[in-house]
């Protein structure tokens, strides 16, 4: 089996420019079968270490657009130490500007966003929602404008994406009895957090349909009333500890729930 070829696109901003350049190059090689994995808003050494750890496991290249000197230097050094090819897509042209036009670069990420601030705020929020979906990285909780908590199948991810299109940075965290809620949830202001609840009957119906779509038996524990009641009881206790506003999403469309969330936040923050 041929090992997958991967290009890790790393940026301290959205990363669209770097991804576009990589795709343009990839098409010159039999249509570009290489896998591209974008890592946006890299803003600390830990983010870079995450990419290095993945890249050194296989046939990989790192292509980056990082303008913060300390991060760029760190990435260059670590890539060299791990024998990973890292390609700087900006510095050669920036150097040419400085030499030919006798100007100095600002070395600040995200300046291009000011050309169309609303558009790029939306892109940034969408990238944020993807990066911090389903509690995969608790660091996003303290960076988010809105944090959604609730049991599985309470529309946390669709709501995160819908609100992201309205330029809110949203993180969401599943509440599961067997997994303690992240400490970060208790460090943020209560007005930043929204609890999502749902009726047991509706949740049972949704989970059965989900299992059916996955080709699994509808009698699985995931959809059983006993399990559902246990999860909802646990979620209610966590939400009481958080002291956060709670919205019942039973029989509500994503758009309706999103409107209620924004109304609640407006009242909480006024």
For 102-150, the pLDDT digits (tens) are: 887 777 776 655 556 778 888 999 999 999 999 989 999 999 999 999 9
Q: Which residue has the higher pLDDT, 113 or 24?
A: 24
Positive or negative torsion for Cα 46, 52, 57, 61:
positive
pLDDT at residue 115 in the model: 57
pLDDT at residue 21 in the model: 92
CATH architecture for residues 116-269: 3-Layer(aba) Sandwich (3.40)
Q: Is the pLDDT of residue 2 over 60?
A: no
pLDDT at residue 29 in the model: 84
Q: Compute the average pLDDT of residues 199-227.
A: 87
pLDDT at residue 116 in the model: 65
Q: Are 178 and 136 in contact (CB under 8 A)?
A: no
Bridge partners for 9 per DSSP:
38, 63
pLDDT at residue 270 in the model: 66
Collect all residues with Cβ–Cβ distance below 8 Å to 257 and sequence separation of at least 6: 155, 159, 196, 247, 249
Cα of 92 vs its chain's centroid, Å: 30
Q: Is the pLDDT of residue 1 over 60?
A: no
- Hey, how many other C-beta atoms are within 10 angstroms of the C-beta on 40? 23
Cα of 194 vs its chain's centroid, Å: 18
Structural domain boundaries in the chain: 5-109, 116-269
Q: Is the pLDDT of residue 62 over 90?
A: yes
16-25, 30-39, 125-134, 241-250: least confident range: 30-39
Q: What's the mean per-residue pLDDT of the chain?
A: 90
pLDDT at residue 89 in the model: 93
d(CA 158, CA 166): 13
pLDDT at residue 31 in the model: 56
CATH of domain 5-109: 3.40.50.20
Residue 27's pLDDT band (cuts 50, 70, 90):
confident
pLDDT at residue 32 in the model: 59
DSSP state letter for 194? E
Q: Compute the average pLDDT of residues 32-44.
A: 86
pTM of the model: 0.58
Q: Is the pLDDT of residue 194 over 90?
A: yes
The reply to whether 116-269 shares the fold of 5-109 is: yes
Closest CA to 68 of 31, 29, 109: 109
- Hey, how many other C-beta atoms are within 10 angstroms of the C-beta on 124? 19
Q: Is the pLDDT of residue 197 over 80?
A: yes
Q: What is the DSSP string of 4-39?
A: PEEEEEEESS--HHHHHHHHHHHTTTTTT--EEEEE
């Amino acid at each position: 089996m041929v090992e997958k070829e991967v290009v890790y696109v790393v940026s301290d901003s959205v990363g669209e420019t770097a991804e576009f350049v990589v795709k343009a190059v990839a098409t010159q090689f039999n249509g570009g079968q290489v896998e591209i994995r974008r890592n946006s808003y890299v803003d600390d050494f830990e983010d870079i270490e995450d990419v290095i750890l993945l890249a050194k496991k296989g046939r990989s290249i790192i292509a980056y657009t990082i303008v913060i000197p300390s991060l760029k230097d760190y990435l260059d050094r670590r890539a060299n130490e791990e024998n990973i090819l890292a390609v700087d897509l900006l510095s050669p042209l920036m150097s040419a500007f400085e030499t030919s036009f006798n100007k100095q670069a600002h070395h600040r990420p995200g300046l291009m966003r000011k050309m169309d601030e609303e558009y790029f705020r939306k892109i940034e929020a969408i990238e944020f929602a993807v990066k911090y979906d389903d509690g995969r990285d608790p660091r996003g909780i303290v960076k988010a404008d809105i944090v959604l908590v609730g049991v599985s199948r309470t529309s946390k991810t669709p709501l995160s994406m819908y609100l992201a299109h309205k330029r809110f940075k949203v993180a969401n965290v599943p509440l599961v009895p067997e997994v303690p809620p992240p400490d970060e949830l208790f460090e943020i202001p209560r007005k930043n957090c929204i609890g999502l609840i749902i009726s047991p009957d509706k949740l049972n119906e949704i989970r059965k349909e989900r299992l059916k779509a996955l080709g699994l038996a509808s009698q699985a524990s995931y959809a059983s009333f006993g399990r559902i009641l246990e999860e909802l009881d646990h979620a209610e206790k966590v939400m009481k500890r958080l002291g956060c506003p709670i919205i019942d999403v039973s029989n509500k469309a994503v758009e309706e729930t999103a409107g209620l969330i924004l109304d609640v936040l407006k009242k909480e923050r006024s």
